[in-house]
Amino acid sequence: MNWKQLWEDYKGRLLGTAAAILFIPIYLFFGFWNMLFCALLLYVGYTIGKYKDLDQGPLIPWRELMDWLNARWRPFK
């Protein structure tokens, strides 16, 4: 597997992870708890990139959520 194929197959994951890695040094200088926040940033970046790579749609199904909320709380019945 070469670099071009890796880029084509995992572009979102690579970009999400790279973005998180760029922010990590900023937070690492501020202590242990912020380092845990860095791990969270890395996980979120990777997860969003993975969803983008696999074309799984949005991470939060906004349309279904809004339909459920509208059915649940109808202000004027």
CB atoms within 10 A of CB 51: 16
List pLDDT tens digits, range 38-64.
788 889 888 888 888 887 777 778 888
Residue 61 phi/psi, 5-degree rounding, is -75, 85
Indicate the range of 21-25, 26-30, 47-51 predicted with least confidence: 26-30
25 touches 42 (CB < 8 A): no
Above 70 in pLDDT, residue 74?
Answer: yes
50: CB partners within 8 A, 6+ apart: 12, 13, 16
Q: What is the pLDDT of residue 19?
A: 84
Q: Is the pTM of this model over 0.85?
A: no
Q: Which stretches within 1-77 are classed as H helix? A: 3-9, 11-28, 32-54, 62-72
